[in-house]
Structure formats: structure tokens, C-alpha cells
């Protein structure tokens, strides 16, 4: 069994942004993604009045990448979702020990 040093990029974005994130990830080399809905809490309350403009409904995108493509995919996701702007969402990276069913070619 070939080791691909898999990583998991988790991206939590505003509702309606996931398709754009997935398209950018795939253009950067990702083989695919899983999307689902969630509801955020906490940040809106801490932001006070300006938090009223942040909707609690979120889209969560999971992307498995090979180690050598992780930086390109992560950067594409950040750019597509404008995660460098406050209140747009966030992304984080997990190093995985193993993954099965992950298409490497």
C-alpha cells in the first residue's frame, strides 16, 4: 500500500460559499470534497452589534489532500472564501496518520 501522507483541510464558510471553495480546491489539485451544513455560535455574541451581520448557518467543507498539494489547495481555499477578512469563516489543517478509499491518481 502506497503512503501519500494525507492531510485534511476543514473549511467553515458562510452559507452559499461552499461551491466556490470546492471549485477553487479542485482547480488547485484536490480530487474532491465533502460538504455539509452546520450552525455556528459564540462569535456573533462576542462581536456585539456587528455580530448581527454574521449568519449562524455555515457550510463545512472537508478536503483530503496529498502532502505535496496541501499548501496549494489550502491557499486556494483561503483566497476563494476570502478567509483573510474578518467574519468570513476559517480553515484549518489536520495531519492524518492514515486514510482509506482516498483516490491518489
**Per-residue pLDDT averaged across 67-91, rounded?**
93
Dihedrals phi, psi of 8, to nearest 5 degrees = -120, 120
What CATH number is given to the structural domain containing 37? 3.30.70.120
Q: Is 102 within a domain? A: no
CA dihedral of 20, 78, 2, 102, whole degrees rounded to 10: -30
pLDDT value at residue 80: 97
Of the chain, the percentage scoring pLDDT greater than 70 comes to 80
Number of structural domains found in the chain: 1
**C-beta neighbour count of 16 within 10 angstroms:** 10
Sign of the alpha-carbon torsion through 30, 31, 37, 41: negative
The pLDDT of residue 92 is above 80: yes
The pLDDT of residue 11 is above 90: yes
Q: Looking at 13-17, 78-82, 97-101, which range is the least confident one?
A: 97-101
Q: Is 66 within a domain? A: yes
Cell numbers standing for residue 48: 456585539
**Per-residue pLDDT averaged across 12-21, rounded?**
94
Q: Is 101 within a domain? A: no
pLDDT value at residue 45: 55
pTM of the complete model: 0.83
Q: Is 57 within a domain? A: yes
Please spell the DSSP secondary structure of 57-72, one letter per residue: EEEEEEEEEEHHHHHH
The pLDDT of residue 51 is above 60: no
**Domain span including residue 84:** 6-95
Amino acid at each position: 500500500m502506497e503512503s501519500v501522507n494525507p492531510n485534511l483541510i476543514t473549511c467553515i464558510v458562510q452559507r452559499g460559499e461552499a461551491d466556490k471553495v470546492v471549485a477553487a480546491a479542485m482547480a488547485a489539485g484536490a480530487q474532491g470534497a465533502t460538504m455539509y451544513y452546520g450552525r455556528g455560535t459564540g462569535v456573533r455574541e462576542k462581536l456585539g452589534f456587528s455580530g448581527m451581520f454574521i449568519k449562524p448557518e455555515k457550510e463545512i467543507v472537508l478536503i483530503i489532500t496529498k502532502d505535496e498539494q496541501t499548501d496549494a489547495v489550502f491557499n486556494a481555499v483561503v483566497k476563494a472564501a476570502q478567509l483573510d477578512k474578518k467574519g468570513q469563516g476559517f480553515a484549518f489543517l489536520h495531519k492524518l496518520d492514515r486514510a482509506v478509499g482516498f483516490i491518489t491518481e
